[in-house]
Each structure stands twice: as structure tokens, then as C-alpha cells.
Structure 1
């Protein structure tokens, strides 16, 4: 886009009603200003005014942006006009997983610092896995029904016994919380070991043996994370944590301040 000494003008029609302000209208206005435009902000303050505007211009949605008398379109069209990417809600992505593990890692380091005065402890590593288990369970518990539906596509035990698909997120959450507290190891260790082992075998078979392309239920039933390495990592982490805690229990434990 070429620029001039004077700001370019844009006219934006957006819904601003007493009970509703269109969020995409606000986004469009902000984008135009960041691109150096002076915005003539036209409010559609009633449903009647909005419907009349749509009928007049032959459009189905608002907001609508006009630049130099030419209709650009809605918010996505405006982003395309400026050469910006458009998010595809159906596209596969690892963003939720990256965000989750980044936050749980920071939480573990922060907890270790708060308790021991240093973020780099063995306990921080344990907390990282336990926090991850708890947060992953939380995401699944937001819609157990959706999770169960996706989970039944590949989990070997759930296919044989459907109630397991509903039990799994509660079991993962219970094991994670107990591991965070370091309590009831006799319960958390076998639970994590069992669900982690079954999960790892199921994912390995579905992805690497059967070569199936499925969505992962690891971050909830509405995710677009592909089944594969991430879900396998989740289950391997649970197994590793269970075996680690079992070894620590059998050897009488080790200092939490030991360096990572």
C-alpha cells in the first residue's frame, strides 16, 4: 500500500447498540487506525438501521468498511486488503499445547522459587508434569461429552468399555492434584501409570501402526490438535512421573532442592 502525507480516509459502518457493540467493528476500527487511516465511524444503533444498511448495500454482515468510495467488506476482508493473514478455525494447530506447557512450566518454576528460593529444583520438574496433568484434565472436563466422543476414536480400552472415556479426565485430574500435593502416592502412582500406559499404547497404535489421521482429545473435545506426538507425550509424561515417584518412594525420597 502506498502512503501519503495526509492520512487516508475510511468509512466504517458498525453495530453499536445499547445492549450490543459488535467486537469485529471495534477490531476493524483499530486495524484501520493502525494502518494510518482516519476513520469516519458510522454507528448502526438499531436492528432496523442495521437491516436497512444490509439491504441497501447487498451485504449479509456488519461491520463494512469503505475506502475511497469502494466497499472493502467485513473484518476478514479488511485484513486481506492490508495483506494480513486470516485465521482458519478448522485448521490444525499446536498453539493450545504450546501455550499450555509454557504456562505449566512457568507455574512450576514459580512454585519452586516461592517454596525453595530457587526455580531450578527436582520438585519443579515434578510440579511441571503434575500441573500439566491437572490443566489437561481441566480442559477435558469443560465438556466431558465432547472429549469422550473424540477419545472413543482411538483409545483401546474406551472402545471396549465406553464408561472409561468419561472416567479418564477425572482420573487424570485426581492423579495430577495428588502429585502436586505429594499426597496419597499409593493412589496417584497406579492411576497415572495405568491411564498413561493405556493411552500411550492406544496413540502409538492409531498413529504409527494404523496410520490414522485423527484429532487429539488431549486438550479437550473442541481442539484441532492432530493426534500424534503431543498426545503420546502426555501419556509418556504420566508414566514417567508415576515411575519416578515410585522409585523415589522405594528409595526413601531425595532432596527437593537437588539441581535439575
Structure 2
């Protein structure tokens, strides 16, 4: 890629070469086209309609991918290169992040408020907290159930019980989902409470040992086996929430 030049008011024309085929329209081409237009550029759009046309373009310009963006005849590169050209951040797919967990907890809170409003006429009740934890458990279970195999592989890095009995790593997502659904419904407490208490306690001890005693830097399987969420306080919080919910519901049901 040629050295990037800072855009100025005089650099308002750009050209983009992107794949637009009958069975495939490049999503990064659409993103790049939108980005250029939002930056105020007049864009010459050059769709590559066939594989042969695309390969010929790549060979001509010595590039391996499309789209390719040109500004004032200077090749900027692909979509990420264009974002860098405009000084915009480019996501690192390998970087650790808490965004998936934040999104799940935020949506769980909103859903709990909505459920409380629909059921009790007000979003702020004592049960809102219960529904928040139950919904969070369900959503976290969904993330794991999308690919149980990859979850189990990551889970085996730190869970103490799974290391001793591998099948537990495959059972865990189903157990978490079952406990979450039952707690959300307020049904079969004699099942949901022991399950949540057990998996939450084992999980909390496992995370605490791995992070705070062994000082290991691992990724958490809490939102699935392909996540980049670091194992740490958030992972511990997930398990503590399950334990607290189990104790709370158990106290109300059995005392």
C-alpha cells in the first residue's frame, strides 16, 4: 500500500473497486463505499462483476484482496486501510475485550425491567433483580450452546471439576440454561437452586484459583469458546451472581 496522505478539503474524489457478483456482494466494499460518502467524497464506483474480472484487477495492481480504494489516483488499500487513512480506529480481532459481557448484562437488565413492567406494572421491583440474573444466565448459556465443543475446550483450561471429569464441560451450558429458565419462571426451585448453587460455586472457586492464586492469564469461556473476554472479575461476578440467586431463591422457597 502506498503511504497514506492526510485528507484535506481538496481531496474529495475517490474510486473504489469492489466485488458485486450475482451470488456475492462484498460487505467490506459496501462499508468502504459508505465510509467514503460519509467523509464527503464523490466516489467512482467500479464493481467487479465476475471472478475473472476480480482476479485480473488483483493481478494488475499487485493486491491480494478487494475492495481497493484510490484517492486522487493514490491507492489507499482496503477497508481497514481506509479507516486508518481517516484516523479512525480499526478493531483488532485478537484483542481482549469485555464488550460481549457488557452487552449481555445490559440487555439482561433492560429485559428484566421490561418483564417487571409487563408483569407488575412497574419496572422497579424486588423481582427485577431476580429476573435480571435469570435472564443473564439464559443469555450466557445461549452463547455457550452455539458451539459447545469450543466452549468445552476453553472451559477445560481453568475449571477444576471439568479438568477431573471432562463431560462436565459439555454439561455446564445446559445446566446453566436450565437453571436460568426455571428461575425466570419461578418453577421447580428444588431443581434450579441446587444446580445454580453447584455450578456457581465450582465456577467461582475455579476462577479465583486460576486468576488470583495461580496468576494465569486466560480467556473466559463465559460467553462462548471463541470469545476474547479475559478471565477475571467479570467471570467471577457471573458465578457469584448464580450463587447469590440460588441462596436467595432457596431461602424464600425452603424457609
TM-score (norm 2): 0.96
Alignment RMSD (CA, Å): 0.9
- Select 1:52's aligned residue among 49, 56, 65: 56
Q: 1:255 corresponds to which residue?
A: none
How many Å apart are 1:123 and its aligned residue? 1.1
CA deviations 1:139-158 (Å, max 9, x no partner) are: 10101110000111100111
How many residues are treated as equivalent by the alignment? 249
Corresponding residue of 2:156: 152
Paired position in structure 1 for 2:225: 221
Does residue 82 in structure 1 map to residue 86 in structure 2? yes
- Give deviations 1:82-130, integer Å, cap 9, x for gaps: 1111101110000001100000000000000001110001111100000
1:2 to 1, 8, 20: 8
> Partner of 1:60: helix, strand, or coil?
coil
Q: Who is 1:131 aligned against? A: 135
Number of the residue aligned with 1:64: 68
TM-score normalized by structure 1? 0.94
Counterpart position of 2:204: 200
SS state at 2:44 partner: strand
Match of 2:3 in 1: none
Q: Which runs of 4+ in 1 moved over 3 A?
A: none
Q: Provide the secondary structure at the position in 2 that maps to 1:42.
A: strand
2:38 matched to 1:34? yes
After the TM superposition, which residues 174-185 of structure 1 pair with which residues of structure 2 at under 5 Å, given as runs? 174-185=178-189
Q: State the 1:250 CA deviation.
A: 3.3
CA distance in structure 1 between the aligned counterparts of 2:13 and 2:72, rounded to whole angstroms: 7
Aligned to 2:47: 43
CA distance in 2, matches of 1:23, 1:187: 46
DSSP 3-state at the match of 2:64: coil
What is residue 121 of structure 2 aligned with on the other side? Answer: 117
Equivalent position SS for 2:45: strand
Unaligned runs of 5+ residues in structure 2 are: 1-6
SS of match in other structure, 1:51: helix
Name the SS of the counterpart of 1:41 in structure 2.
strand
Name the SS for the 1:183 alignment partner: coil
